[in-house]
């Protein structure tokens, strides 16, 4: 159980910074198709915002942001999204992770690959973010 930081400067700065870091993290993740970025980098930024809240806002608020009971479950869900996308393509008649065979109706093969990349990148983002938060929670204590 951590109490919030005593300094009002740190509290106000964190309250302002956390949403900005999260928006930039989502931007880096979604813009990975057009610029440097993607799942790993976006996940690290999202994890940094939660860990910043853990450090300075205290247990009560930071647990409401992202509960440490859910971290490892979400980490597994991210890997499952990735592997499940590959399996869906396999079951639909293609090769493992060949996004052209994903069962999404009404899309060209190139668009299907575009969407497949976005789906697996979201899985990577979830896994990286929750794994980093889980490691922090175990080492420092939430």
Partner 1 sequence: MKALHIILLAFFGCLLMAAAAGLPPRGDIHAPAQLLVNPAGTPVAGAYYIQHAYKHAGTPNIVTVVLADYRGFDTLGETLVVFTGAISVLFILRRRKA
Residue numbers at the binding site for partner 1 (CB under 8 A): 32-36, 38, 40, 71-72, 75-76, 78-79, 82-83, 86, 96-97, 99, 108-111, 113-114, 116-117, 120-121, 123-124, 127-128, 130-132, 134-135, 138-139
The closest alpha carbon to 82, from 51, 44, 47, 128, belongs to 128
Q: Count the neighbouring beta carbons within 10 Å of the beta carbon of residue 36.
A: 8
Between 55 and 79, whose beta carbon lies closer to partner 1?
79
Return phi, psi of residue 93, to 5°.
110, 0
Dihedral sign of CA atoms 111, 117, 120, 126 in order? negative
Q: How far is the CB of 56 from partner 1 (least distance, A)?
A: 23
Between 25 and 123, whose beta carbon lies closer to partner 1?
123
Between 60 and 138, whose beta carbon lies closer to partner 1?
138
Q: How far is the CB of 15 from partner 1 (least distance, A)?
A: 28
Distance CA 126, CA 133 (A): 11
């Amino acid at each position: 159980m951590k109490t919030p930081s005593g300094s009002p400067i740190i509290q106000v700065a964190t309250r302002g910074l956390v949403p900005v870091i999260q928006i930039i993290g989502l931007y880096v993740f979604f813009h990975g198709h057009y610029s440097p970025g993607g799942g790993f980098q976006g996940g690290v930024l999202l994890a940094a915002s939660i860990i910043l809240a853990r450090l300075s806002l205290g247990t009560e608020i930071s647990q409401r942001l992202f509960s440490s009971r859910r971290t490892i479950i979400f980490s597994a869900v991210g890997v499952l999204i990735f592997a499940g996308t590959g399996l869906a393509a396999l079951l639909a008649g293609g090769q493992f992770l060949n996004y052209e065979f994903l069962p999404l109706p009404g899309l060209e093969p190139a668009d299907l690959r575009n969407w497949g990349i976005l789906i697996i990148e979201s899985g990577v983002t979830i896994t990286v973010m929750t794994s980093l938060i889980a490691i922090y929670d175990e080492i420092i204590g939430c």
